[in-house]
Homo-oligomer: A and B are copies of this chain.
Amino acid sequence: MSPVSFARQRYTTKAYDASRQVDQAIVDELLELLRLSPSSVNSQPWHFVVANTAEGKARLAKGAQGGFAYNQPKILNASHVILICARRDLDDAYLANVLQQEADDGRFRDDAARTTQHNTRSSYVELHRGLGDIPHWAEKQAYLALGTLLLGAAAKGVDATPMEGIDREALDEELGLAAQGLSSMVAVALGYHSDSDFNAALPKSRLPAERVFTHL
């Protein structure tokens, strides 16, 4: 089937069937899809917290209290919940790790290629450091990964709910993310919708092509 068919079928699930689990092999594929996501200068400025135990989901549900309580049942009833986090900085130690990984994976035929890659990436990081928007830049890359995940889940027949409506500070605190140089951004519930999901039967709505495309 074509990717556009999956895009047409998918929708934001509002209620999950707590009795249904996503096969671990499918979850592993979706995690691999996140890990392989492209990012600017291969910066990979992200981290993914994956909960599929009752205890793990209860911890993530601490980010769905008060004004965000409407998302709590999704977190608790979904099969898996992935909290997408972004790096707050890309410091020299982190950049050295990425470079070494690229070397280990065989991307540099010689030292010159390695140096070129390091200089290119560093210049982008310095550009964004100058703009003061490294966290914003990192968050955009993490959303790119989110797009990959949502289409991939649809292709695997897995229902999903991206949730910006979470208490990011509470989750940063609960998971000790700041100490890891991370901040939480958006959670994604994965599973299978319940019969009570009103959104399952509603038609998708998008602005028409003439509103969103300009052809040159």
List 11 A-B residue pairs with CB atoms under 8 Å apart, sorted by A's residue number.
Answer: A2-B155, A2-B156, A12-B38, A33-B151, A44-B207, A49-B214, A55-B216, A97-B207, A106-B203, A143-B147, A147-B147
Scan A105-149; emit 1 where CB is below 8 A from any B CB, else 0.
111000000000000000010000000000010011101111111
The answer to whether A164 has its CB under 8 Å from any CB of chain B is: yes
Q: Which residues of A contact B (CB under 8 A)?
A: 2-4, 7-8, 10, 12, 29, 31-38, 40, 42, 44, 46-53, 55-57, 59-60, 97-98, 101-102, 104-107, 124, 136, 139-141, 143-152, 155-156, 162, 164, 175, 202-209, 211-216
Q: Are B38 and A162 in contact (CB under 8 A)?
A: yes
Shortest Cβ distance from residue A126 to the other chain B in the assembled complex, whole angstroms:
13
Q: A50-B216, A216-B50 are in contact. Are A206 and B3 (CB under 8 A)?
A: no
**15 new A-B contacts at CB < 8 Å, known A101-B206, A143-B143:** A7-B33, A8-B36, A35-B209, A44-B206, A47-B213, A49-B215, A97-B211, A104-B205, A106-B203, A107-B205, A124-B164, A136-B139, A139-B140, A147-B147, A147-B148
Q: How distant is A176 from chain B, measured CB to nearest CB, in Å? A: 10
CA distance A141 to B101 in the complex (A): 29
A31 is contacted by which of B49, B152, B213 (Cβ under 8 Å)? B213
B2 touches A29 (CB 8 A): yes
Q: A8-B36, A37-B147, A151-B152 are in contact. Are A59 and B216 (CB under 8 A)?
A: yes
Q: Contact: B213 with A48, CB < 8 Å?
A: yes
